[in-house]
Amino acid sequence: MPLFSFSHYKFFWRSSIAFAFFLTLLFIANSLTLQTQSTSTPCNKDPYKQLNLILNQNGTVTRPNKPPESPPAADPTLLVLSKDLPINQSKGTWARVYLPRAARDHRSKLPLLVFFHGGGFIFLSAASTIFHEFCFNMANDVAAVVASVEYRLTPEHRLPAAYDDAVEALHWIKANQDDWLRNLVDYSNVFLMGSSAGGNIAYNAGLRGAAADDDEIRKIKGLILVQPFFSGVRRTGSERRLVNEPHLALCVNDAIWELSLPVGVDRDHEYCNPTVGKGGARLEMIERLGWWVLVTGSGGDPLVDRQVELVKLMEKKGVRVVGHFTPGDYHGIQDTDPLKAKELYGVIKTFISALN
């Protein structure tokens, strides 16, 4: 049984949009109040020191500290099983697939979340412990198969390399003969999902595939964008207000884009800013495909104004979009706060269930 009938979901959708609009007004009001106080406030951090990166002369970076990683777990006593499957060995790409044990025991088909991890395009892995635990718990709480994709990192492989890896991963999933993917996935119920930089990847990879008349991409049900990582040349109110926010200072944000975008472009490039240039036309393509989109954000995230702006533009273009924004909190909170992660799983499950 779906959590809501479709008529109830329409109400949920409209209420969410209304809430997003209310938050937009609230954020704008706060920005106008504080903008004159923060316009001249400099970002007081050394971004590369803050990121713990050493820039090399050949355009690569040295990452001195490797965050902890976790292996897949095939223990049949666990609530969720996981295993690693290679995608493209020449690129070093692979996927960690998570399957709720109940689905294996009952041979029931579940929705598929193709997940792209965060880390500013530069850091972390599908094997990173924070994302392993996130995907393990999400598979269990949402009752979905999760395929967490290992993609190439910047600046060694600047964008659009990660987008290409994402599109290739979706084709690989559909063609794979692995028992879990072949027999336990409902391919009428597939979502591209990502958090932070991964949300940017899910968004851009989906649009790239759809623009290329890629049938595998066009058949997905929608996008789930968790605090998606976007930027632009013009500063928003939340960026000015939270210029030195400890989880994502403005100068750190700018440095990440400098290392990730194609050489010679600015932050109004389409990979970075979905609201300028042909951004509106790209959203019209989402509307024509009939995809549903969930965008989540937090009031304490410097990027929140951009996320709200994207929801408003989607609504204007007729996209079936749900905006879920919470007051306070910070960028990446779902990766470090289990209670916030569990709340997010509930939002995702409601979103998916209401469409069926």
Which CATH number covers residue 250? Answer: 3.40.50.1820
Q: 302, 31 in Cβ contact below 8 A? A: no
Q: How far is residue 338 CA from its own chain's centroid? A: 18
Whether 164 is in a domain gets the answer yes
**DSSP for residue 129:** H
- Residues with active-site annotation: 196, 301, 331
Give the pLDDT score at 163: 97
Q: Give the number of domains in the chain.
A: 1
Give the pLDDT score at 213: 80
Query: What crossing angle do the helices spanning 279-289 and 197-211 adopt, rounded to 10°?
Result: 70
Give the pLDDT score at 228: 98
CA–CA distance from 312 to each of 130, 177, 233, 236 (Å)?
Answer: 31, 41, 19, 15
Cβ partners under 8 Å of residue 290, min gap 6: 320
Whether 1 is in a domain gets the answer no
Whether 238 is in a domain gets the answer yes
Q: 307, 230 in Cβ contact below 8 A? A: yes
Across-strand partners of 293? 223, 321
Cα separation, 220 vs 207, in Å, equals: 11
Give the pLDDT score at 8: 44
Cα separation, 99 vs 139, in Å, equals: 7
Write b or e for each residue in 174-186: b if 16 or more Cβ atoms lie within 10 A of its Cβ, otherwise e.
Answer: bebeeebbeebbe
Q: Residue 92 belongs to what domain range?
A: 6-354
Give the pLDDT score at 43: 65
For residue 296, give the 3-state DSSP assignment. Answer: strand
Give the pLDDT score at 236: 97
Q: How confident is the prediction along the chain (356 residues), in pLDDT tens digits per residue?
A: 333 333 444 444 444 444 444 444 444 344 333 333 333 355 666 899 989 999 999 999 999 999 999 999 989 899 999 999 999 999 999 999 999 999 988 888 999 999 999 999 999 999 999 999 999 999 999 999 999 999 999 999 999 999 999 999 999 999 999 999 999 999 999 999 999 999 999 999 999 988 888 887 888 999 999 999 999 999 999 999 999 999 999 999 999 999 999 999 999 999 999 999 888 898 999 999 999 999 999 999 999 999 999 999 999 999 999 999 999 999 999 999 999 999 999 999 999 999 98
Give the pLDDT score at 13: 46
Give the pLDDT score at 235: 97
CA–CA distance from 221 to each of 74, 109, 206, 290, 355 (Å)?
Answer: 29, 16, 11, 8, 9
Strands in the chain per DSSP E? 54-55, 61-62, 80-88, 93-100, 110-116, 145-150, 185-195, 222-226, 292-298, 320-326
Q: Dihedral through CA 251, CA 35, CA 197, CA 69, nearest 10?
A: 60
Give the pLDDT score at 192: 98
Whether 126 is in a domain gets the answer yes
For the chain, the maximum distance between any two Cα atoms, rounded to a whole number of angstroms, is 60
Cα separation, 283 vs 289, in Å, equals: 10
Q: How far is residue 326 CA from its own chain's centroid? A: 17
pTM here? 0.89
Tell me the torsion sign for CA atoms 308, 313, 316, 319. negative
Cα separation, 205 vs 150, in Å, equals: 14
